[in-house]
Amino acid sequence: MTLPEPATGRSDIVETEVGSVFVSNYPPYSAWSPSHLPALKKVLASAGDQNADLGLYVHIPFCRKRCKFCYFKVYTGKNSNEIKTYMAGLLKEVDTYASKPVFKDRPLRFVYFGGGTPSYLSVAQLRDLVSGLRKRFDWEQLEEFSFECEPGTLTKPKVYALKDLGVTRLSLGVENFDDEILSNNGRAHVTTEIDRVLPWIKDADFPMFNLDLIAGMVGETSEKWSKTIDRTIEVAPDSVTIYQMELPFNTVYSSAIRDGDDHEHFANWSTKRRWNQEAMERLEEAGYVRSSAYTMVKMEKKGRPFVYRDALWRGADMMGTGVASFSHVGGIHYQNLSSWGEYLETIDRGELPLQRALETSNEDRFIRQFILQMKLGELHVAHFVDKFGMNPVKKFEHELSQLRERDFLTFDDERIQLTMKGLMQVDTLLPNFYDAPYKGARYT
């Protein structure tokens, strides 16, 4: 059997289509359902694997504006009282988790504040929230505290407060250094705000400062993209994460296309991959090395891992807190209620705000970790044999051989390594390894 070209239907001449996604989990979210919640509740009530790595994800769903390409659960009109209520709800949710046997008395290895815009919160709100979380879980063995920021929400006191609170990895959502592109795509910030905050971040001296870019935003040109790379190299962050513009179903752009707008505003996949590769090659010339299909890290920071990413891609447990957040424990994936009112009402009753779940098999977990670690660009066969008793080269020999013929990767009995061509479109390759029931299934 010959593999499709490529797995999601993209090719070098295909336009950016509605439904394209960044693969962040397996099995696909569309397979999750309320019918698996009883199995989850049994795991929560069990001792579980007390030696497994444990992390905490805190969803802060507030933004100044909703980006036109955003597919996350965010709110732009909540007032101060509503935000205060939500913060109290988060702590009540963590209280409930702390009482569950599967999490009780376990130390956290990593904490991640994502959004939305975590930096939307005031310094006082951040101090209260972090203090409350520390009282409920042991942070003494914490290796990483990651925090996402939008430039226009940062002040000098807030930057220094984040450092004082223990943030070790500050990620700044710059996306582009061109004001017209930022405005056209619905970003709230402008370049003067980026320029204002950079000296504060540098002076605060976070252990890891990451800068996010997106290749292929509406209005992008080769000349403008080159200038964005120039500016990024000039800023010299510790790491740079470069995404390619995707169009999941629930975005402003996707709605417009479904309503009859055409695709001419969006760079095709060939162009985005070329821009992405250009950025990685120029960053390499500037002293960076590849950390994944998306991230370049300064050579001197190469030894500092991205704990949140690496732990999750190797099966760590994670408590996802906040409206619509995602979690994983004991081989079961689950998601919180996605309605603001239902989320808060459920927490007020002293219950976890659970919406849907999926109990996975050993093979599911094997495939999940295999496809996610493919995004690192290289994986070692022995790890999977030791952990799962399954050899990915033997299981996927046919698929790997066909991808090798197309110059997407190389492999032998010890390791699998993606080529630059494979790295630039890794998310299109991963569905080739899905189990039969999930091939062709809607991702979300």
Residue 23 lies in a domain: no
Does the residue 124 lie in any domain?
A: yes
- In a domain? residue 428: yes
Residues 200 and 114 in one domain: yes
Distances (CA, A) of 188 to 33, 117, 184, 237: 35, 11, 10, 21
Among residues 310, 330, 353, the one where a domain terminates is 310
- Cis-peptide into 207, omega within 30 deg: no
Domain-embedded: residue 14: no
Burial environment of residue 285 by CB neighbours within 10 A (0 to 12, 13 to 18, 19 or more): exposed
- Assess whether 147 and 241 both reside in one domain: yes
Q: What b/e readout covers 378-401, taking b as 16+ CB neighbours within 10 angstroms?
A: ebebeebeeebeeebbebbeebbe
Distance CA 262, CA 75 (A): 28
- Confidence bin at 263 (pLDDT 50/70/90): low
CA distance 359 to 48: 14
CA atoms within 13 A on the CB side of 221: 4
What is the rounded CA–CA span in Å between residue 161 and residue 326?
A: 27
Q: What is the pLDDT of residue 11?
A: 45
Within-domain flag for 328: no
Q: From 249, 282, 310, give the residue that closes a domain.
A: 310
User: 288 Cβ partners below 8 Å, 6+ apart?
Assistant: 239, 240, 296, 297, 298, 299
What's the pLDDT band for 262 if we cut at 50, 70, 90?
A: low
Q: How far apart are CA 324 and CA 281, in angstroms?
A: 37
For the cut 60, the answer to whether the pLDDT of residue 10 exceeds it is no
Over residues 332-348, the pLDDT tens digits come to 999 999 999 999 999 99
- Over residues 292-330, the pLDDT tens digits come to 999 999 999 988 889 999 999 999 999 999 999 999 999
Same domain, 281 and 419: no
Co-location of 293 and 387 in the same domain: no
C-beta separation of 314 from 373 below 8 A: yes
- 84 and 201 in one domain? yes
Q: Could you tell me if 185 and 69 are in contact, meaning their C-beta atoms sit under 8 angstroms apart?
A: yes
What is the distance between the alpha carbons of residues 262 and 264, in angstroms, rounded to a whole number? Answer: 6
340 in a domain, yes or no? no
Cis, bond preceding 116 (omega within 30 deg of 0): yes
- 332 SS3 class: strand
Instruction: Tell me the pLDDT tens digit for each residue of 176-207.
Output: 999 999 999 999 999 999 999 999 999 999 99
Mean per-residue pLDDT, 19-38:
93
Q: Calculate what percentage of the chain has a pLDDT beyond 90.
A: 85
215 inside domain: yes
Chosen domain end from 282, 310, 338: 310
Q: Measure CA of the first residue to CA of the last residue in the chain; give whole Å.
A: 27
**Which whole-number Å values give the CA distances from 229 to 141, 222, 272, 363, in the listed order?**
37, 11, 14, 41
**Domain holding 431: CATH number?**
1.10.10.920
Instruction: Say yes or no: 160 and 301 in one domain.
Output: yes
pTM of the model: 0.94
Q: What is the pLDDT of residue 443?
A: 84
Domain hosting residue 376, numbered range:
362-435
Same domain membership, residue 215 and residue 109: yes
Among the listed ranges 20-24, 81-85, 98-102, 413-417, which one has the minimum average pLDDT value?
A: 20-24
Query: Are 62 and 137 part of one and the same domain?
Result: yes
Q: Which of 20, 9, 16, 8 is nearest to 248 (CA)?
A: 20
* Count of structural domains, the chain: 2
Percent residues over pLDDT 70 in the chain: 96
190 and 105 both lie in a single domain: yes
CATH number at residue 183: 3.80.30.20
Is there a single domain that holds both residue 103 and residue 220?
A: yes
> Whose CA is closest to 356, among 25, 19, 41?
41
Q: Are residues 257 and 392 in the same domain?
A: no
Residue 427 inside a domain? The answer is yes
Same domain for 383 and 302, yes or no, is no
